Amino acid sequence: MTGRAVARVSRGAIEANCAVLRERLGGAELCAVVKANGYGHGADTAARAALAGGATRLAVATAAEAADLSVEARVLVMGALTREDLDVALGAGADVVAWTGEFLDAVAARGGGRVHVKLDSGMGRLGTKDPVEARALCDRVAATDGLELAGLMTHFATADEPGDDHFPDQLARFTALMEEVRGDHPGVTVHAANSAAVLREPAAHFDMARCGIATYGMDPFGDDPAAHGLTPALRLESYVAAVKRFEPGDSAGYGRRWRASEPTWVGVLPIGYGDGWRRALTNDADVLVRGRRHPLVGTVSMDNITIDLGPETDVEVGDEAVLIGEQGGERILAEEVARRIGTINYEVTTALLPRTKRVEA
């Protein structure tokens, strides 16, 4: 019997995905993004597997995430940092991202560090929107004792929307700046591409790409990852804790949001939104038991869900239940779960809470 809420994470799948991405990148480096607990897969597990698969660097969003990693690798903290956060990031030996002169002063005051200057080429979040300022910041980093110009970067807003006009516009703006900066600072590592950009446009690869979602075998375009040679790394499991006979009119869960229309059997699984299985999946998901799909019926509660096993069933207490993954030739992708509730695959795995046990497979 499996546990009540278990995410089995395949290191082999992550390694294989990184090998696929490295092949797509040609000579460019692969930086594996392991923020948000490795997109729900476990940061250390993901980091080790990614490095084994050919990644040469890691990236996170926060200083604490950098400090918590227990692997030996160059780490980039991509997010905004308070002065306290900056101390933690630099103390962990991480690279940091800058877009103001004041931040460079703060880094220098703490003894210096490796800095990546960020251009906001159209994401509308962090970074300077002014390429002249970005170039000046690069010059300033290179001229300041204790600071090292480690990178020039941007981030794409619509790389996962093939055919849009904004992505090529962003790429053109950044490329123009890159050519100027590289002329004065030939050793700088230029990086812009996320997973979608790596798969969409080789011109966006530059010196390095920062891949998150594809590292974990999920499709940045929300379709089937197999189309890109990617293998999902996470399998979400529970088990059948009870099998109950329902008569017409019997209901399952809070609010009686599902009632049996005919005699049927219902299975109870001890997993719920307290484990990260979203309440929005109420009456709108499938679960695999004995290689067959069974609809989730009734309200997703904090600790339990119920599934309709049909008028006749061979399902027994203790049977494995798969919410994401393969079983008996059937499969449920994170992309399918995301479509059902109008979100993205990133959120499906990242939403898995600490009560869901991570197990390396």
Q: Which residues are catalytic?
A: 35, 254
Contact assessment for residue 58 and residue 31, using Cβ atoms and an 8 Å cutoff: yes
Query: Which residues does 72 contact at the CB level (< 8 Å), separation at least 6?
Result: none
Between helix 131-143 and helix 101-109 the angle, nearest 10°, is 20
Please identify which residue in the block is written with the tokens 């159209």: 122
Instruction: Give CA 222 to chain center in angstroms.
Output: 13
**Extended strands (E) in 233-304:** 234-239, 242-246, 264-269, 286-289, 292-297
Distances in whole angstroms, Cα of residue 124 to Cα of each of 119, 156, 225, 346? 10, 10, 28, 20
Judge contact between 220 and 306, C-beta under 8 A. Answer: no
Q: What is the DSSP string of 34-58?
A: -HHHHHTT-HHHHHHHHHHTT--EE
Task: Record the tokens describing residue 65, joined without a space.
Answer: 């995430």
Work out the angle between the directed axes of helices 131-143 and 166-184 (0-180°, nearest 10): 30
Rounded-to-integer distance, Cα 193 and Cα 117, Å:
15
- The torsion defined by the Cα of 191, 48, 278 and 323, in degrees rounded to 10, comes to 120
**DSSP β-ladder status, 189-191 and 74-77:** unpaired
User: How far, in Å, CA of 196 to CA of 78, rounded?
Assistant: 18
C-alpha closest to that of 127 among 157, 86, 160: 157
